[in-house]
Structure 1
Amino acid sequence: MEDILRPIYQERASLKSTLGILLIEKRKNTSSNTDTFDYILFVIVDEAEEPVFLKHYTYKDQKAALHIVQEKQLKEWLLLGTNRKVVDWLQNGKVLYDRNEYLYNLKTELREFPFYGRKIKIGIEFAKLIRRYIDGKAFFEDGHYLDAYNHVVHSLHHLARLEVIEQGFYPEVTVWNQVKYMEPEIFKLYEELVNSEETIEKRLELLFLASEFLIYSRTNTGSQHLVEIMKERQGYWSISELMEHPELAHYAVDLSVLLEYLIDKAIVEVVEIETKGHEVYHRNYQAR
């Protein structure tokens, strides 16, 4: 099949915008890494009319997919963790074309995972964790146990990903396989939630008690990125100023929930500024 695809990737390699091309082959006994396709041609470009372009091909009983991805989109996926298969493709794909060692340097960056990149990812992951945990607890207290269960599973997943990032690795699709050896306590919580014979109410009750400490113990690390940005200038920030910051914009809707959590933990404080309205104040924030 690689020979059949050669004219396609050679054409892409001849374009000035192409930075690198990888070939990913479906692994035996699993098709999830390639979305059921036998082969993936992954092309990274510095300029394109659209962030992602796809084409599908068939040859006899095999099928292949061409993914052309703008570098900016790729960087966003790696930062936000919204396309985890891409990490697998970059780490395990066969290099077919590499302009000026672009792919070599990118693979090195993935392997070494610079601390600056880790801080941002830790902050984003921690914000998602807090959002899921708080929403799950609210559903639990209202007696909506299945909705609470769904949020708790996601919160544990974010906790697992947070642990992997703290250890200096990119979270993979099989994150539980990674965390099983890095932090058995988190893995055990997940197993107990999923496999316990207790009622769903009892399972959730026990898990909220156990996970609260695990989350709290990671608060300083999880909030470091946000706090450092808030301390870059004297005084307070409005919520709109925080949301407009180029790095904090990645926190999206989770930023407000994270701020409230950090206020509760005395890491951030509220600064009230008078408005023209009687006893109505602007609510601003600063790191302690």
Structure 2
Amino acid sequence: MEDILRPIYQERASQVNTLGVLIIEKKQKALPTTDTFDAILLIVVSEANEPVYIKHYSYGQKKAALHIVTEKQLKEWILMGSNRKVFEWIYSGQILFDRNEYFNKLKLELQDFPFYGRKMKMGLEFAKLIRRYMDGKAFFENKDFLDAYNHVVHSLHHLARLSVVENGFHPEVTVWNQVKQIEPAVYKLYIELISSEEPLEKRLELLFLASEFLIHSKSSQGASHLLEILKEKEKWSISEIIEHPELKNYSVDLGMLLEYLIEKGFIDVVNIETKGPGLYHRYYKVAESIS
């Protein structure tokens, strides 16, 4: 397949803003790494009009996909974990062109997983975990068990990914294989939820009891990125928190995370009087016991 695609990537490699070219060829039918294509050609560029540009090709009975991605978009996928296949592409792809060893350096960076990047990623996964867990609990209390089940499965996925990141690894496509080795307790919770013969209500009830402790034990690590930023000032309005450059990535999960951390004693609410009688501006600060 590489020979067939050579004219395409050679043309791109000659362009000055091309940082690197990878080819990822399908090896196992069961794995979704190449999205059913026989080959993926990943080209990373320093800048482009669009962050992602995709073209599909056919050759005989085979098919290939070309992905041209800006470096900024690639870094966002890596940080947010919003395109997990990209890790597999970088790890297992064959380097066809590598300006200034771009891909080799990126592979080393992913293996090292710098501590600050890890803290931010833990924060993002923890925020998603809390959102799904709290929503699932609300559905459960309203006896909407199927909706509760859906949210709980997602919350366990985020708990699994958080465990992987906490141990210094990037979550991959096969995250449960990673978790089975790294944190068997989380893996066991997941297996019991999806395979137990207990009625769904009973399964959910037991899971909420068991996962409460696990989530609480990860709160300090999971919230450390957010708390470090909040320590920079005495108090914050919600708009100041949302607009902080490093906290924008938390998106819709931020409000629920704040409420959870208030409930658990990590954050205090500061009420500031307004002109309206009995009405207060609500501000947030790191609890004195934490700082």
Pairing 1:122-137 to 2, within 5 Å after superposition? 122-137=122-137
* Matching residue's letter, 2:30: T
Pairing 1:3-152 to 2, within 5 Å after superposition? 3-152=3-152
Give a deviation string over 1:96-150, Cα, whole Å, max 9, x none.
0001111111000111111111000000000000000000000000000000000
Pairing 1:210-249 to 2, within 5 Å after superposition? 210-233=210-233, 235-249=234-248
Give a deviation string over 1:125-177, Cα, whole Å, max 9, x none.
00000000000000000000000000000000000000000010000011001
Q: Distance in 1 between matches of 2:145 and 2:100?
A: 54
Q: Distance in 2 between matches of 1:76 and 1:266?
A: 32
* Matching residue's letter, 1:72: K
SS in 2 for 1:34: coil
SS in 2 for 1:139: helix
SS in 1 for 2:33: helix
Q: Distance in 1 between matches of 2:113 and 2:92?
A: 16
- Paired position in structure 1 for 2:253: 254
* Matching residue's letter, 1:215: I
- Paired position in structure 1 for 2:284: 285
> What number of residue pairs does the alignment pair up?
287
SS in 2 for 1:253: helix
* Matching residue's letter, 1:240: S
- Paired position in structure 2 for 1:197: 197
Q: Distance in 2 between matches of 1:9 and 1:191?
A: 44
SS in 1 for 2:22: strand
- Please state how far the C-alpha of 1:27 moved relative to its aligned partner: 1.6
Q: Distance in 2 between matches of 1:198 and 1:30?
A: 30
Q: Distance in 2 between matches of 1:156 and 1:165?
A: 14
Q: Distance in 2 between matches of 1:170 and 1:134?
A: 25
Q: Distance in 2 between matches of 1:231 and 1:28?
A: 48
Give the alignment's TM-score, normalised by structure 1.
0.99
Q: Structure 1 runs of 4+ off > 2 angstroms?
A: 28-31
Asked whether the 8 Å contact 1:26–1:38 carries over to 2, the reply is yes
Q: Distance in 1 between matches of 2:286 and 2:74?
A: 32
- Paired position in structure 2 for 1:269: 268
Q: Distance in 2 between matches of 1:24 and 1:109?
A: 20
- Please state how far the C-alpha of 1:28 moved relative to its aligned partner: 2.3
- Please state how far the C-alpha of 1:251 moved relative to its aligned partner: 0.3
* Matching residue's letter, 1:109: E
- Paired position in structure 1 for 2:154: 154
SS in 2 for 1:15: coil
- Please state how far the C-alpha of 1:31 moved relative to its aligned partner: 4.9
- Please state how far the C-alpha of 1:213 moved relative to its aligned partner: 0.1
- Please state how far the C-alpha of 1:274 moved relative to its aligned partner: 1.0
Q: Distance in 2 between matches of 1:129 and 1:77?
A: 18
- Please state how far the C-alpha of 1:30 moved relative to its aligned partner: 2.6
% identity of equivalent residues: 67
Structure 1: unaligned runs, 5 residues or longer: none
- Please state how far the C-alpha of 1:29 moved relative to its aligned partner: 2.8
Asked whether the 8 Å contact 1:270–1:285 carries over to 2, the reply is yes
SS in 1 for 2:49: coil
Q: Distance in 1 between matches of 2:255 and 2:31?
A: 39
Q: Distance in 1 between matches of 2:66 and 2:30?
A: 19
Give a deviation string over 1:216-268, Cα, whole Å, max 9, x none.
000100010000000123x1001110111111000001111000000011110
Give a deviation string over 1:262-287, Cα, whole Å, max 9, x none.
00111100011111112111111011
Give the alignment's TM-score, normalised by structure 2.
0.98
Q: Distance in 2 between matches of 1:167 and 1:247?
A: 22
